[in-house]
Structure 1
């Protein structure tokens, strides 16, 4: 039994070491799109990722929220007004993201997957 427990603890620390060793390279070239950046979790996440050197595409519901976020962050944070309940707003934000990101992929999703997802969202609100 003690041997079994020791093996489990050893595996735990081995997996933890391996996971902590993984690093994302070239953070300056990475983009993250975050919605709900006027306040709360989205706002805090956008500010933290900016401090870590990532480029943040932040979607805010109001111009006031977008302006505050721009004041608190560096030029790596770009804001767009997005109302997820309006299809026109989703389409405009999708186009805005395409212009900023270009042909680079976002994680395992390319921009076509994001476009498909936003089209699905726009239909689900009608």
Structure 2
């Protein structure tokens, strides 16, 4: 019985190791846009993806949050100030993303 348990635990760690080693090809050519990067999950995700080599476009509510994030990351990460409750701010951020990504991005959502 202990042998079966050991085999199951071994298989679990083997599968976990394999999944963690999978990598998206051409990461340096990929962009990701993340909102809420001042703190919390958005901040953590932006830093993790930057560390993995992706180009991160991080939207922060405050300039102070943007400065702190830039201080902790590489030059692949760029920040923009965005208040998702204001249409003008969303339009400006969408234009900023289009300027950065250009024709390397996918389709852009249209704002009404």
Out of 101, 106, 111, which is 2:107 matched to?
111
Residue in structure 1 matched with residue 59 of structure 2 by the alignment: 59
In structure 1, C-alpha distance between the alignment counterparts of 2:39 and 2:24, rounded to whole Å: 27
1:65 offset after TM fit, Å? Answer: 0.2
In structure 2, C-alpha distance between the alignment counterparts of 1:64 and 1:22, rounded to whole Å: 35
1:23 offset after TM fit, Å? Answer: 3.4
In structure 2, C-alpha distance between the alignment counterparts of 1:37 and 1:74, rounded to whole Å: 15
Residues 64-122 of structure 1, C-alpha deviation per residue, up to 9 Å, x if partnerless? Answer: 000000001010100000000100000000000000000113xxxx232xx32xx25xx
**TM-score relative to the length of structure 1:** 0.70
Residue in structure 1 matched with residue 73 of structure 2 by the alignment: 73
Moved over 3 A (4+): 19-23
In structure 1, C-alpha distance between the alignment counterparts of 2:57 and 2:95, rounded to whole Å: 12
Residue in structure 2 matched with residue 101 of structure 1 by the alignment: 101
How large is the Cα RMSD of the aligned pairs? 2.1
1:22 offset after TM fit, Å? Answer: 5.3
Matched, 1:35 2:35: yes
Q: How many residues align?
A: 98
**TM-score relative to the length of structure 2:** 0.78
1:43 offset after TM fit, Å? Answer: 0.3
In structure 1, C-alpha distance between the alignment counterparts of 2:104 and 2:22, rounded to whole Å: 22
In structure 1, C-alpha distance between the alignment counterparts of 2:32 and 2:41, rounded to whole Å: 14
